[in-house]
Structure 1
Amino acid sequence: MRSRQKVLDATVEIIESEGFDAVSIAAVANRASVSRQTIYSIFGTREDLVSQAVVGLALTALGDITLRLEATTTPFDYIVELLVAGRGAVRAHPVLATLLDPGRANPFFDDGMMDRAKPVARQILEPMAARHPDIAPELDGLVDIVLRLGVSVILFDDETVHSDDSLRRFLTRWLLPAMTATGD
């Protein structure tokens, strides 16, 4: 395995098991069985290392989610599958859940997190709006609700909606009426 990937994998493992504050060049070097100089020569700084590790994982998960969204036919189905697939990505890669945890010295979590997340969510929802131009005027509101609901689905994952099908039923019961309501 190449040193770069070994280092990235070790970084993700440390974040997942011990949190962001446990990531140091020395800890990653030890876990990856490489020298600290190797890490510095590839990544430069601890911050660049953490950023590249998390971004790489997030991009992989986003690619998988995007494939699932292509099969949807309605805006409601798109949003439901986005939430179900997002929760699945966090379950498959628990380090992604640490991005929502302010208690583990998380460099990504602060008061501006939602503002930084909106352009990303908008980019994910724009293909839905392109397929369904009638909802384009509501896109900003949908971005807000999907972000808030998505964070809730991940943080408050419990037995009542543990399976993908039970989450779909829950969202259908509560989200579908909101999306089909007319007027303000």
Structure 2
Amino acid sequence: MRVEQDAEVTAEAEEPGTQPGDGLPSDDGPGPRATRRRQALVVVAVALVVGGALFLLRAAQLTGAPAADNRALTDTEATARVTGDVGNALTAVFSYRPGHTDATRASARELLAGKAARQYTELFGQVEKRAAEQKLTLTTHVVRVGVTRLTGGSARLLVFLDQVSQRQGGAPATAPAQLSVTAELDDGRWRIVGIASR
């Protein structure tokens, strides 16, 4: 009888799926599930810190001195003014009729300055000669003007033009053009100081 009781005790101890101490806290440290949870929390925390740092850096770039100085982003009235002055100037200096190029030359003297004025003067002599010989009329239409940078006294613009040329008795031909323009404020009026084709 005693032997049978001992055998039952031994069988209970060796029952599969049970270990001595099951259900009791272990001194060996946290289990694999707790370790994974902790690692996930660390990864999320690092991601939040990095994301926050990137956000602050981008905000500083947008509100830093170069961006804050660009009135094209904030001053619609000043942007419209430079857009109008430059668009009108380009229409005036790039439009002419044979026998009436003096008016175009006079407009250029008034509306261009610096490097743009020098380049224009050099090229316009050839234009006048060709216009007279070929009875050529050129009409420039400003399609779109975008101000990329505007400070108190200077502006950079991207301008899209359509230029319609027509020889006497011929059909008109339209050619698009794209210009990078630099302008400076002079006595309350924007004057073009740099022109580059794109």
| Higher helix residue share | 1
- How would you bin the TM-score normalised by the shorter chain? under 0.3
Higher relative contact order (CA 8 A, sep 6+): 1
Q: Of the two, which has the highest radius of gyration? A: 2
Instruction: Provide TM-score, normalisation by structure 1.
Output: 0.22
Query: Normalization by structure 2: what TM-score?
Result: 0.21
- Select the structure that is richer in strand: 2
